């Protein structure tokens, strides 16, 4: 049992049963010891039978639990004082599981090496240019749990990359983000709601110093854009093996290079995950609308993806199919309303070397088409090492 409130020195209240159960019916069992005569014992406002003149008592309270948290508030009145203590018994079902405790602090480090054999996305008839890139991502999280229903997290993320080819130096990205999350579990449904607030900045390589807005950390980078965002994410489980996830997000966008791209973006996504015969199937639909100061920059984008997770011993194989369609809202200066589509096929092979180190290899094929430019194809590959502290 989990006690949430300290008792006074002369009265001890402690539970004798489990705080995590799988049976609806049972008994809440606790012990009371005092240095003066016990007058009354109450559980959730109901007086419990006890013999007069006692200093110690063992109480059994029959219960019928609801899925999730069930609270038992014990109040004890003695001749010299009183005390109370709250206990929680958690009923787990196929749909409702008690979330594993998050560590107070966690850091994830991802180092990646990747190759793109057609970095400029030119047509098959043109000469392709390959690019090699290295990147490093640092994610730190502070977690605070208040009870089994509520917790919060403060996240900080930094990502930087660099190209081996000097001609692509100005394509390098330095990304920084800070966000705050609040998680609330509603076990009656069951449903989890995540509320997120945050902001991020993107800086781009600028070797010729075309902008006087420099990145405060990396002086050879210029400030390119920044976003402020708010999102709501709801997750519900229909069974132990399936769940739905819905996300709504609003972004306010600022572009330091082109004020015509200042504006906002609204996104919505729906995902469904199901496990069949140890294989995880994930379907996801994402739709976003981008509204900027210059109308010719406005566009909407829809992405449909399917991911399969296949365990092979200690290995995990994850094929991914993804289709992205982009449509601009108005015609451009040439009188054409631009549309494009992109198809991605990848296979990720993941292997945990230890509980805190994971290796990942992902080959990928990409094909793109547009009504304003030639079609292209490219092959990509990445190797990642993930460290979890």
pLDDT over 60 (residue 8):
no
Q: 247 and 203 in contact (C-beta within 8 Å)?
A: no
Domains of the chain: 2-91 (2.60.40.1930), 105-388 (2.40.160.40)
Contacting residues for 216 by C-beta, under 8 A, at least 6 apart: none
Q: What is the pLDDT of residue 67?
A: 85
Pairwise CA distance, residues 327 & 337, whole Å? 8
pLDDT at 148 over 80: no
pLDDT in tens, 164-173: 999 999 999 9
The predicted-structure confidence for 74-108, as pLDDT tens digits, reads as follows 999 998 889 999 999 999 887 777 777 788 999 99
Q: How far is CA 67 from CA 92, 95, 237, in A?
A: 6, 9, 13
pLDDT band at residue 198 under the 50/70/90 scheme: very high
What single DSSP character describes residue 260? G
Q: Which of 140-149, 157-166, 241-250, 339-348 has the lowest mean pLDDT?
A: 140-149
pLDDT confidence of residue 4:
40
In the predicted structure, residue 217 carries a pLDDT above the cut 80: yes
Residue 50 has a pLDDT of 87
Sequence-distant (6+) residues with CB within 8 A of 117 are 128, 130, 378, 379, 380
Q: How many Å apart are CA 268 and CA 270, to the nearest integer?
A: 7
More confident residue, 263 or 98: 263
**287-320 per-position pLDDT tens digit:** 999 999 999 999 999 999 999 999 999 999 999 9
Confidence at residue 314, expressed as pLDDT on a 0 to 100 scale:
92
What's the token pair of residue 263?
A: 């504006």
Q: In the prediction, which pLDDT does 7 show?
A: 41
Q: Which residue is it, tokens 């995540």?
A: 194
Instruction: Name the percent of the chain lying above pLDDT 70.
Output: 97
Per-residue model confidence (pLDDT) at position 241: 86
> 114-127: per-residue pLDDT in tens?
999 999 999 989 99
Q: What is the pLDDT of residue 6?
A: 40
Encoding tokens for residue 51? 């013999």
């Amino acid at each position: 049992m989990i006690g949430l409130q300290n008792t006074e020195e002369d009265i001890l209240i402690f539970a004798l049963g489990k705080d995590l159960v799988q049976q609806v019916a049972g008994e809440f069992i606790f012990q009371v010891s005092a240095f003066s005569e016990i007058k009354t014992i109450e559980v959730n406002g109901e007086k419990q039978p006890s013999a007069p003149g006692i200093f110690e008592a063992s109480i059994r309270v029959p219960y019928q639990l609801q899925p999730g948290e069930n609270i038992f508030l014990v109040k004890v009145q003695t001749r010299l004082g009183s005390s109370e203590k709250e206990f929680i018994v958690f009923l787990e079902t196929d749909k409702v599981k008690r979330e594993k405790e998050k560590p107070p602090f966690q850091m994830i480090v991802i180092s990646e090496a990747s190759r793109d054999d057609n970095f400029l996305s030119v047509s098959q008839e043109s000469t392709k240019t390959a690019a090699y890139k290295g990147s490093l991502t640092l994610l730190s999280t502070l977690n605070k749990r208040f009870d089994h229903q509520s917790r919060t997290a403060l996240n900080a993320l930094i990502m930087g990359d660099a190209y081996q080819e000097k001609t692509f130096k100005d394509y390098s990205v330095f990304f920084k983000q800070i966000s705050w999350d609040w998680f609330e579990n509603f076990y009656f449904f069951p449903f989890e709601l995540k509320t997120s607030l945050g902001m991020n900045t993107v800086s781009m390589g600028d070797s010729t110093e075309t902008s006087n807005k420099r990145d405060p950390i990396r002086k050879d980078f210029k400030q390119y854009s920044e976003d402020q965002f708010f999102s709501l994410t709801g997750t519900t489980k229909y069974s132990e093996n399936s769940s739905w996830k819905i996300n709504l997000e609003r972004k306010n966008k600022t572009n330091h290079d082109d004020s015509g791209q200042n504006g906002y973006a609204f996104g919505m996504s729906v995902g469904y995950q199901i496990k069949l015969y140890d294989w995880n199937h994930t379907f996801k639909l994402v739709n976003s609308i981008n509204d900027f100061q210059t109308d010719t920059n406005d566009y909407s984008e829809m992405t449909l993806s399917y991911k399969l997770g296949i365990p092979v011993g200690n290995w995990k194989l994850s094929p991914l199919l993804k289709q992205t369609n982009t449509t601009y809202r108005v015609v451009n200066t040439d009188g054409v309303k631009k549309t494009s589509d992109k198809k991605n096929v990848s296979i990720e092979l993941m292997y945990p070397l230890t509980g805190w180190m994971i290796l990942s290899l992902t080959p990928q094929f990409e094909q793109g088409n547009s009504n304003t430019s030639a079609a292209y194809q490219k092959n990509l590959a990445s190797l990642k090492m993930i460290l979890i502290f």
